[in-house]
Amino acid sequence: MTYRTPLPFHAPTDEGTLDAETIAFYDREGYAVLPRLLSAVELQPARAAMAQKVDEIAEQLFRDGLVASLYTDIPFEKRLAVLFEQLSDVEFLQYGRSWRDRIPGYFVLMSNPKILNAVESLIGPEIFANPVYNVRPKVPKVAAGAVPWHQDKSYWPDANANPVITVWIPLVDATLENGCLQVWPRTHKTKVMAFHQETYSGTGYLEVDEAVITQAKRSAVALPVPAGSAILFNDRCVHMSPGNNSDHVRWSVDLRYQPTSQDPMPQYGAGFLARSKAHPDRIATLDDWMAERPERT
């Protein structure tokens, strides 16, 4: 596949605020890339939360006799890959295609001021963190790791929740080899495209129909970015990520934010009030989030 070369990546301020050029690019193209928005220190709480989950999976696999070791000496980037190296997609999918655990490190990341500043640049200061956040371990050679061409909006087509902005953040360098994000620019101004539930990966992802896929492949922009970068895109922007052909896990998170005036989509779980100039006393704390309360009590 031939990829178009994206325009130069945008540099936010040190605090994450977007400049007029970046906002204009996002409005026109449906996405923006902020290289190295977060430092390794800022990523550490989320990384620790992921490591905690991997500990739990390793212990379960060991108890079930599916692995001979907990592999505690393997680095974070490779440990989950080693655990599933001799197992099938079926075993992997026992833990879900993505994770949405309420571990404090994820709240720390979702509440990061740099992320909220970038989002505020696009939708204003009344920001609700959508309940659909995902931790994605893209494991080498596991078919479930490939995410087909889709629009996030297809998962909530009837919700009064547009725009929902995804903030996609890799915790390791995202490359062509390990399955970096790819987008089809300017599709954010379209209606929800025809889609179906795919059957080949075992995950049941929603996928745009074949005619749309053909167009997407012709217009694809691949976005390899270093760890800690952020890719912001609209929930109508058609995007995908291919399988992982490296020797390590491509760890990423996709966080979602929307104006507080939009549907909070409680059927997907409890989101939380992340920022508000109008009601700063209602901004949710970690305790609120852990208790699944959308606002401070």
pTM value is 0.92
Question: Higher model confidence: residue 191 or residue 137?
Answer: 137
Gyration radius from the chain CA atoms: 19
The whole-chain average pLDDT of the chain stands at 90
Q: What whole-number distance in Å separates Cα of residue 150 and Cα of residue 206? A: 6
With a CB cutoff of 8 Å and minimum separation 6, the contacts of 231 are 31, 32, 33, 34, 166, 167, 168, 169, 181, 183, 223, 225
- Compute the average pLDDT of residues 73-92: 92
- Compute the average pLDDT of residues 52-78: 96
Residue 132 has pLDDT above 80, yes or no: yes
- Compute the average pLDDT of residues 170-175: 96
Please state, as a whole number, how many other Cβ atoms lie within 10 Å of the Cβ of residue 45. Answer: 17
> pLDDT confidence of 7, banded at 50, 70, 90?
very low
- Compute the average pLDDT of residues 185-203: 79
* CB-count burial class (<10 Å; 0-12, 13-18, 19+) for 192: middle
Residue 136 has pLDDT above 80, yes or no: yes
pLDDT digits (tens, 9 = 90+) for 40-56: 999 999 999 999 999 99
Query: Which of 107-116, 232-241, 267-276 has the weakest average pLDDT?
Result: 232-241
pLDDT at residue 105, rounded to an integer: 97
| Percent with pLDDT over 90 in the chain | 69
Is 143:242 a contact under the CB 8 Å cutoff? no
Is 219:205 a contact under the CB 8 Å cutoff? no
Domains of the chain: residue spans and CATH? 20-38+96-290 (2.60.120.620)
pLDDT digits (tens, 9 = 90+) for 245-284: 999 999 999 999 999 999 999 999 999 999 999 999 999 9
pLDDT at residue 198, rounded to an integer: 80
Q: What whole-number distance in Å separates Cα of residue 56 and Cα of residue 253? A: 19
SS3 at position 155? helix
> pLDDT confidence of 207, banded at 50, 70, 90?
confident
Q: DSSP of 207-230, one letter per residue?
A: EE-HHHHHHHHHH-EE--B-TT-E
pLDDT at residue 69, rounded to an integer: 96
Q: What whole-number distance in Å separates Cα of residue 221 and Cα of residue 180? A: 10
Query: Which of 29-38, 61-70, 161-170, 286-295 has the weakest average pLDDT?
Result: 161-170
Residue 189 has pLDDT above 80, yes or no: yes
